[in-house]
Structure 1
């Protein structure tokens, strides 16, 4: 036998070119035994020592069959050995082998004939423990079956993240054949930001050895490029038995159904939140423009990137839908965008009147009373939804790609249209979005219609109220006069506040300020009746207390209304004021060099209650003195105590104005809230010297002699002086 020795330089060269060994053969413990032609052992590997229990010295030179086999198996083994040596055909199989410790083990063999350069034959036997081999076969079979038939995606990638193994499930998820994966990287198969993150996760797991479990990814693959899919990705580093990294294994579970169900649930919750938000925020006032803006604020940005709310002008003018021949006339009420955009210039600004062409979505809604959904806007559709060519250009430049128009329908009639569009939001409007928009529009339409109705009623009441108030002369004998009436703000109803200045005989002047409790047209009508009655009674030249007594009876007949009132008569010749109050806030008296003061009057009871007499108080009112009469709308608020507000009134009046007109303007400016919820009637008079020395007429003298009286059966009260 001749076996040449390898030179050291050759060994060094091969070692430099060799790759790292696999650990599988070490795991199997494959033993090598070389037999000479007569069956004696010539070579004995360390693995053979471990497998059979005999050392090299105990085995080499011995006949293999007697050493390793029980007597009953030796003949069969010798026959098989002879056949291999004679024919050169290899043999594989298992034999029971006697271990050195006396036990018997099944050993898997691979026997083959070798021939050296001299033509001599040898037998090489490769052996391993059959139980270990079967265990590995079962694990491999199980792995192959799981990989091939598992419904989840499985793959093995090398340390460069190139695919080595891909199961059919993963290939189907990717939409790429199994064979087209091999040797290619993850980013060669899958594109998109989601898969960049997946590659990062794989590299981290490969470097750290820490598994990544159930990392969710959302993206699109060649299998379904038009829809998002979701996967739960798990990554594990693969190592040999020495701990060296072999690559990674990935487990990919398609969780698209779960992802879509979660998205649908989230979308449903968002719709509920949006509806609840709309219920809370839309219709907080009875102001048309504000209600329309509230609708726009709710819709943007949660549902749309931009919205417009238009109302039929006929509804605003008359409260009714009037669709005559020709295009409908709209008034823009509200516009909102989620961000600054050129598209805003394509939308009609609030307050502007406009018409739309017959094919415009707004015209469609008015004509059919049905919403219009355009999921994808091409150039032709952009021209349809735009007011003109320039608007279409602006919408296209802003990236508007989907549109909805929803009619505003209240009490069975269409009153306007809400238009919605998306640009930055890449998702087109769908049927669910349309349903939500219709629900919000329906709720808002009723609130807008209520606001329109309220506005018409309020305008009628205010017109009636103003028509019933007097046209005041700026002066009366001995008096400078200024008065103001301010109705409640637009989202509150007009009340029944009034003032009056009535000329009397003898240069005297009657002054009245009153407030009918209530609002709207009925309160204004009641106010007109009381003012007419006051003027009629004033002509009878009665004491203020008796005037209030008669007004009390009249108001009682106007049930259920009651009113407060201050009635006074000024006599410039005597420089005296006779005044009585029916439950009203006290007037303010301003004297030169003194602090303003509230007149200390018997408060009395409101008109319409009845049964309690009123009292007249007489005070001196000399030239330079001022008297401020007002209704509670000037000083009452919903949050401040009335005493504090009256103190504020006195503080303001402490700085005198040059004219009564200036006093009126300053009080309204400083005391009245811009959104005042109540009417204000304000009357300011300033006593002045008489320009002529006219003597009082007989009726005036008679009145002056009366001074102060009380109505009813009670004796006249003693006059009180505020001077």
Structure 2
């Protein structure tokens, strides 16, 4: 640019395309996201646009309805091109008779909202760049508008959901977070009837805070206790206190609210994402598993204290230095104690075998966690009489 000359600020095609989303996003009602996507796709001379949302069972991608959006049946995640795009978080291009069908992941902070699909006559690098940016804006819109509408919840709900499960899903953070230094992915079963299991996490500066809990009992009582436990955990965490103080605060909150006969098992962790140093406290929870070089290398057995609510002594803090690529898998006891009537429990050994098999695929943490949960459910004959929850943390270095 010649010194003294003002830069060219005229609107390019790409700016106009993205501006069509940005200019309308602020006051856009949730039900008009679909039509907005359709309008933008038309500017690219695209056809048959779809916005696909993951169902709560993590089995299907369900099309969002809206003027200008293509109709269609839900697509099974496993084995479909849309599912491959969704699981691996990569664009997938499929040649068709009338052009190229492009599937794009809808990512928000690493969480996988769903997918977007559109058909173009042909695809070049300019199309790929614009579609990538459009899909990012659409993902952000879905996440922000979800907070004050039931529309997306209804699309994602594949069957009737219990009141306890409604409470638990409203309590959860995003099921996945993928960042340069650290990744987190979790899944709950039974998705539509979960009650006492829950987890939470927060990335504050370099420190990742994680908790997994299992409240005793079933139904609304367990969901209510889990809500108090997670609320107490968040309150203490946000006060920037250590793991021992967090345990003490949760313990007193549950005891005061529910009395001495009720308790919540818990696993609390803090990971320094800069160094890989992890600290944890185990309050009556199954010990987590360490995965290194795509294989389970040990159970992280450590001193435990009583479950939250039973007035345990000050917990001992355990420590470990992770290596780059290490994954720590936390799970609730419902995952390994499930059994047929009169039969043996599923057991940690079978869990470890399943982890080793799936880790050999080399897939990302979100895909592995989802596949592991579904594999374990099939191995149990499809039975889930107790909550069965997984939460995996990967230190990426």
TM-score normalised to structure 2 length: 0.54
TM-superposition CA deviations, 1:94-146 (whole Å, max 9, x none): xxxxxxxxxxxxxxxxxxxxxxxxxxxxxxxxxxxxxxxxxxxxxxxxxxxxx
Does the alignment pair 1:608 with 2:313?
A: no
Q: What is the CA–CA distance in structure 1 between the aligned matches of 2:331 and 2:296, rounded to whole Å?
A: 19
Does the alignment pair 1:480 with 2:183?
A: yes
Q: Describe the SS at the equivalent of 1:654.
A: helix
The structure, 1 or 2, with the larger RCO (C-alpha pairs under 8 Å, 6+ apart) is: 2
Question: Compared with structure 1, are the counterparts of its residues 686 and 530 closer, same or farther at alpha carbon in structure 2 (3 Å cutoff)?
Answer: same
Match of 1:539 among 238, 249, 270: 238
Does the alignment pair 1:684 with 2:368?
A: no
Superposition deviation, residue 646 in structure 1: 0.4
Alignment of 1:47-446 (within 5 A): none
Q: What is the CA–CA distance in structure 2 between the aligned matches of 1:548 and 1:573, rounded to whole Å?
A: 25
Is the CA contact 1:510–1:568 (under 8 Å) kept in the aligned structure 2? yes
Superposition deviation, residue 654 in structure 1: 2.0
RMSD of equivalent CA atoms: 2.2
Structure whose alpha-carbon radius of gyration is higher: 1
Superposition deviation, residue 611 in structure 1: 3.8
Is the CA contact 2:271–2:278 (under 8 Å) kept in the aligned structure 1? yes
Superposition deviation, residue 653 in structure 1: 1.8
1:661 corresponds in structure 2 to 366
1:651 corresponds in structure 2 to 353
Superposition deviation, residue 476 in structure 1: 3.8
1:582 corresponds in structure 2 to 283
Question: Compared with structure 1, are the counterparts of its residues 676 and 576 closer, same or farther at alpha carbon in structure 2 (3 Å cutoff)?
Answer: same
Is the CA contact 1:588–1:599 (under 8 Å) kept in the aligned structure 2? yes
Is the CA contact 1:482–1:683 (under 8 Å) kept in the aligned structure 2? yes
Instruction: Structure 1: give runs of 5+ residues left out of the alignment.
Output: 1-454, 690-723
Q: Describe the SS at the equivalent of 1:518.
A: coil
TM-superposition CA deviations, 1:444-468 (whole Å, max 9, x none): xxxxxxxxxxx98x62221112111
2:248 corresponds in structure 1 to 549
Question: Compared with structure 1, are the counterparts of its residues 494 and 653 closer, same or farther at alpha carbon in structure 2 (3 Å cutoff)?
Answer: closer
Aligned pair count?
229
TM-score normalised to structure 1 length: 0.30
Q: What is the CA–CA distance in structure 2 between the aligned matches of 1:649 and 1:487, rounded to whole Å?
A: 17
Superposition deviation, residue 686 in structure 1: 1.2
Q: Describe the SS at the equivalent of 2:370.
A: helix
Superposition deviation, residue 517 in structure 1: 0.5
Instruction: Structure 2: give runs of 5+ residues left out of the alignment.
Output: 1-158
Question: Compared with structure 1, are the counterparts of its residues 602 and 476 closer, same or farther at alpha carbon in structure 2 (3 Å cutoff)?
Answer: farther
Q: What is the CA–CA distance in structure 2 between the aligned matches of 1:471 and 1:568, rounded to whole Å?
A: 18
Q: Describe the SS at the equivalent of 2:226.
A: helix
Q: What is the CA–CA distance in structure 1 between the aligned matches of 2:180 and 2:306, rounded to whole Å?
A: 31
Q: What is the CA–CA distance in structure 1 between the aligned matches of 2:323 and 2:271, rounded to whole Å?
A: 10
Is the CA contact 2:175–2:187 (under 8 Å) kept in the aligned structure 1? no
Match of 2:299 among 589, 598, 623: 598
Is the CA contact 1:498–1:527 (under 8 Å) kept in the aligned structure 2? yes
Superposition deviation, residue 593 in structure 1: 6.9
